[in-house]
Structure formats: C-alpha cells, structure tokens
Structure 1
C-alpha cells in the first residue's frame, strides 16, 4: 500500500504551519557546553609561521575553543605571557612556533595546572612530535580540534640545567657551538632546515674542534668522564632530520623520572663521519661508537670545563650562552600537557 505524494505534501504543510512547542515554565532550556578558553602564543619569527597561517589557525580553532592569540615580541616574552595566562585561568596554552617558543612556554607554565600544547612552526618541532602532535600544521590543527572531545591532560617530566627547564634535550660543547652559529642566521635556518645544520656542523667541527677543542668533564653517579661534547636528554629523541628521528642518548622518556646522556670523548677526523652515519642510521646506535659513552637513568649530573675555557650551552635547540659549569637535574611530572 503506497501513500500518495500529495498526502506527504499536506502533512509537511501542517507541520510547517504548527506553532513551536514551548517548554514548560519550570524547565530551563539546555544551553550548549561552554567552550574551553585557549591562548595561542605565536612566534612571528619562527621558521614556518606567517600572518596568513596565524589567522587561518585561529579561525579554524574558534570552531571548538574560545581563542585568544598574542605574538611574542622578544626573547623570554612567551614565559611572561604563560605566567599571566595561568593566573587568568586559561584552560589551554598553545605554543605556535619552534622548540624555543615551546621551551619558554613550558618555563612559564611550570608549577601551574594550565596544560601546554603546541603547533609546529619551527624547523624540528621535537617536543610536539614526542607528544604525538603531527608535524604538518594542517594535521596538527585538526588534532587540536579533536582534543575538545578527548580532553585528557597528563603530566610530563622536565629537565633542568642551571635553573632553566628544558623539555627534551640540552647540550654542551660542539653541539651547542653548532646551535650558536645556526641561530645567528635564522633566515638560512628557515630556508634550508636540516641541511643548513649539517653544513654548519661540519664547518664548526673543522674550524673549532679538529685541532684544539675545549674539553669538559662530566660527573654522574660517582663516575668522571672527559670529552668535547655532552648531551643530556629528557625524551627519547635528540632531534629530527626532516622526518627521521636522531637518537643520541638512550633510556629517557617524558615520564620516566630520569634523564639520559652521552659523552663524546674525542672528535677525530676519521671517527666523526662514522658518528654522523650512526646518528642518521635506523639500525646503528650512537652510543656504540667507540668514542661515545652512554649514561642511562640518572637524576643529577654536573658538567665542568676541564681546561678553564667556557663551555657553550644549548637548551631545547636554542643557544643560551657560555658557562663554566652546568648542573642538571630532573623535575618529575612538572608540566601539564594535552596532546
């Protein structure tokens, strides 16, 4: 038995002509859930950040969050902004920039309940990848949108060196000298990415570390080691060469409660190419190189100059200056994140 089309039309007309049903006076209408407040901290000088991308990201995220955005204006500004954001009760802070911006944000949110997330805007975006955030901006933005329905903050560890926190890695010696020279030309860093790092690493080694490198002494757990470079990691990755992870120290994760490290004893002309090959290999391990000693699961470590020359220091891929001593420790579960 079939109902005629005319009957359906008459029924539709009746429905459209009805007055809306009013809710009883004693029942309050159901309002949509309030959006979480998000503050996006934008580093306008980061490698892949532009005004156009900034506006597109804010527009997209406004669909699920109440979004404010602010640009950083100087070194350390992101730390100040994050402290204010935590005080003002934001539900989430998003660092849109490179790992240096993320580092400043983490230092500003330290000790607060406000979680941190990040969007890739730098050349490596190591911490974001360790949290599981995609390396492409569009994918990362979609990932952040999904967090509105899958809100699960968690705590991660932070490393500390001379009172400054780091999220994934810090280094002294050759490593930090390379970072210093790369940071001096940000336009080349943004344009050439990991290839510029490779060129600078090679030229820095040949100029400064082939004949008379500054030497350092590492003290950890009663042992003393000498070398030309020391790496300390809070996470399993030291950096990335495009999409390929570079693993140096082994045994650290963001929630292990311990750090991991590696010491390069000598940087010989014959040994360095093999060390570079191990760093890029998917099978060989850096800590198996005969000039490298790995240090696993420690909570404190001290690095001092062994020849009275100051040591260059980098934190999360940003050069911070020269020191005669670096004291490392771990702050377990110190930072709230959402990812």
Structure 2
C-alpha cells in the first residue's frame, strides 16, 4: 500500500521528534513518502499529485487547515477521476488525519483521539484492518469543506483571530471569545442585516445577519467542550444551517450563552435553522467575511453551497 504523508511543519501540537516517531510508525505499515508543506495551498498541490499518481492513502499531520487543503487536492484531481464510475469516495485515495493543530475539529468529529500519538495508533489499526468510513463533504462554489463554512459574524471572528496570530498571539479559546466580543460590539451589520438565503423551490429568507453551515456536529470546540448549534448535523446527511436574523448585542449575547451553557439549543425569534439541505445559496447586499473549516478566505457577496454525498473515504 502506497501512502503520502503531508506534514505541516508549523503544526502547533507536534515537534520534530514526534514527527520522526510518526514517520517510523507509518513506515511499518505502508510504503511511505513524506512531504512538508512550504506555503499556504501547498497541501492541495501535494494531495492532487498523489491522487493522480495512484497513491492509496493520503495522511495529513497538521490542523484543520491542512486537512481542508488536502481534501481539496483529492477532490479536484482530474487524472484520478477521469473515466471512472461510482461516487468520489471509491475513485480517490483514502484520507487519514493525524491531529496536529490547536483544535482539530474534523479529527475529533470523526471520533479520533485528540492527541497525535493515540490518533496515529487508531490510523495504523485502520490501515491494517482495511477499516474506513465514507463521509459527505460540503462545497462552497468551487471549494470543498469538511465540517463548517460561514458568512458574516463567525467568519469575521476568524479574520480577527488570524490577524492576531500574525501579530504573534497564540490561538486559545480566550482569543476567540475576545475576537467575538470585539466583532459584536463594533460590527456594522447589526441594524441592517445583509444576507439572504435562497433555496430551490422555496421562498427566499432575507434579513439574516450571519450564516453558519455545518457538515457535521459539533461546529467547533472551546477547549474540551463541543459547541453544537446544529446537533443533528452529520457526515451521513446533507448540510445544516444556523442563521441569526439580527445581530443586536443582547440577542447575540443570548445565543452565545445558549451555545456555551446549553450546547445544541440556540433558540429565539432571531434564530433560524434548517436541517439536511442538498443545496442553497447565500447572497449579500455587501461584501461579507467568508470562512471554510476555520480558515478566512476573504470577502464574498454570493456563495452557492452543495452537499456532496459519498465524497471521501476516511481511515478512522
């Protein structure tokens, strides 16, 4: 079995020694090639080339951003897909995720241990036993995501956190909470919500202040605590959506409190939720912050979301 290990050398939860141990462990089970990412987007290039060369498994060591890039490389590999029948999951290499970032939402949503060492042990057992799970993915325009996407408030918070990290701050739950508070109190969209949800065959839903899309549950973690606005979201179903009709400070603070203390139960007249959607479009009257799998991707005024069933085989 041929495998590619894609390593993000800046992964926060690993060291060179731990990476060396991982490489030796994987070499005991597969014919392994190791590549280190050198820039943003490099994991996409490496995974796409691996799929085109007939590799059986792509293993990532990094955070959710590295996983997202690798998934996009696999899902856009033309040589791996050309002329082959069946869903993408059975035309592409399997994916194995070793958690190496600060949060590792995707790996934890799959039920993998939080630490890289225990995660590696589960993956080795899965490789030897031929064990995998077939999951759906989300697609936002031409970019795939594994667990979440967002337009508006949550993406603006991600932008603030990324800016803080560029200034040398460490990613912590406290940093995210401060970024959220800053965005809620200074954001410009409280009085005039810019987003509209459009669904095939349904009336449009205007006046939305932020939209969160989930491909699985939970949406994220604060330390060990899952944050779960759509607890029925699943890798086995379509996309779930949570929107807030207005971003008034009191209403937004109430929703945040509900998520923090009664996970999975945001409610109120300003909360709008939908379950198991095949596709929809979010349109904005002005540019809005946009994120996929916790990475800020700039601003958008229109994003078309699609659920992609049976998209990927994951070793877990």
Query: Could you say whether these structures have the same fold, taking a TM-score greater than 0.5 normalized by the shorter chain as the test?
Result: yes
Tell me whether 1:281 sits opposite 2:261 in the alignment.
yes
Q: What is the alpha-carbon distance in structure 1 between the residues aligned to residue 13 and residue 168 of structure 2? A: 11
Match of 1:196 among 145, 159, 175: 175
Match of 1:76 in 2: 41
- The runs of 5 or more residues in structure 2 that have no matched partner are 76-87
1:98 to 59, 63, 87: 63
TM-score between both structures, scaled by the size of structure 1: 0.83
Aligned to 2:227: 246
Query: 2:3 matched to 1:38?
Result: yes
User: Cα deviation per residue 1:213-262 (whole Å; 9 max; x = unaligned)?
Assistant: 66211122513222110011111211111121111234321122x11101
**Match in the other structure for 2:12:** 47
Distance 2:123 2:233 in 1: 26
1:25-61 CA distances to partner (integer Å, 9 max, x unpaired)?
xxxxxxxxxxx32211111223323323221211232
TM superposition shift of 1:164? 0.8
Q: Pick which of 46-55 and 241-250 moved more.
A: 46-55
Aligned match of 1:25: none
Describe the superposition over 1:299-332 as per-residue Cα deviations: whole angstroms up to 9, x where unpaired. 11111113xx201110011011111101111111
CA shift at 1:289, angstroms? 3.1
**Alpha carbons of structure 1 residues 85 and 133: separation in structure 2 relative to 1, 3 Å:** same
Counterpart-to-counterpart distance in 1, 2:166 and 2:14: 13
In structure 1, the residue corresponding to 2:257 is in which secondary structure? helix
Cα distance change, pair 214–293 in 1 and its aligned pair in 2 (3 A): closer
Cα 1:318/1:189, change in 2 over 3 Å = farther
When residues 81 and 321 of structure 1 are mapped into structure 2, their CA distance, relative to the original with a 3 A threshold, is: same
Contact 2:6 2:36 in 1 (8 A): yes
Q: Does 1:270 align with 2:235?
A: no
Look up the match of 1:331.
308
* Higher deviation after alignment, 47-56 or 239-248: 47-56
1:206 aligns with 2:148: no
Partners of 2:169 and 2:66 lie apart in 1 by 15
Q: In structure 1, list runs of 5 or more residues that go unmatched.
A: 1-35
Counterpart in the other structure of 2:121: 142
Among 104, 107, 117, the residue aligned to 1:128: 107
Q: Hey, what does 2:82 align to over in structure 1?
A: none
Aligned residues: 300
Give SS of 1:134's match. coil
- Tell me how far apart the structure 1 counterparts of residues 19 and 166 of structure 2 sit (CA, whole Å): 19
Give the root-mean-square deviation of aligned CA atoms.
2.0
Q: How far did residue 212 of structure 1 move?
A: 5.2
Shift of 1:63: 2.6
